[in-house]
Structures are given as structure tokens and as C-alpha cells.
Amino acid sequence: MRSGYKLLWSDKALGDLQNIINYLVENWTQKEVQDFARRLEKRLEIIVINPRLFHVTTKRRNIRRSVLTKHTVIYYETNKSLVTVVTLFDPRQNPKKLRLR
């Protein structure tokens, strides 16, 4: 089942992803890195198929959040035919650090 949505990553989200991968590579096994990548890929497939599945944030009405792991939350926004990953955020951080553009 495919949707008409295209997936796009913001520069911020790509930087967040790189930081997460670097941390996993340095501190965990290759299996954990692969598990994280697989889980992220599956979640993004779900988001692209049905972007309205997850809750709208209270900070910005056009941005939604999906909890990927207890340490990673995906924030994304949708337009007519585009899903943009805005940031990957660790909810253990101070919420004031969360920047949604």
C-alpha cells in the first residue's frame, strides 16, 4: 500500500540522525545500529502511508510527533504531497531545547 507522499529530511533532522548513529556505533554493537535503522525505516514507511496517524504537537499545529524509542521522537510535518522530518529529539533533554523550525 503506497501513498502519494514523498519523504524529505531537513538539514536539522539529518544532523540529528548522524549524531544518533555516531553514538550507537561508538557505544553499542552493530546489531543495535541495524535494529535502530530498521525500526526507523519501518516507522517512516508508516508515516508516509498515513501521515495523520500520529498526534499533532502542542507547540505547532502542523507538526506531528511519533515516539520511535524511549530515547528518540520523530517530529515531522506534512504538506500536500510531502512529509518532512523536522527533527529527531531525545525526550530526556530539556523540552526548551526542542526547535521545530
* Residue 33: per-residue pLDDT: 94
Amino acid, res. 85: V
pLDDT by 10s per residue, the chain, length 101: 566 799 999 999 999 999 999 999 999 999 999 999 999 999 999 999 999 999 999 878 889 999 999 999 999 999 989 999 999 998 877 666 777 76
* Furthest CA-CA distance within the chain: 40
Strands (E), the chain: 6-9, 63-69, 72-78, 82-89
- Show the domains of the chain with their CATH numbers: 6-92 (3.30.2310.20)
| Residue type at 17 in one-letter notation | L
Amino acid identity at 100: L
pLDDT at 97: 72
Q: What is the pLDDT of residue 52?
A: 94
Residue 3 is predicted with a pLDDT of: 66
Burial track 52-84 (b if 16+ CB lie within 10 A, e otherwise): eebeebeeeeebbbbebeeebbbbbbbeeeebb
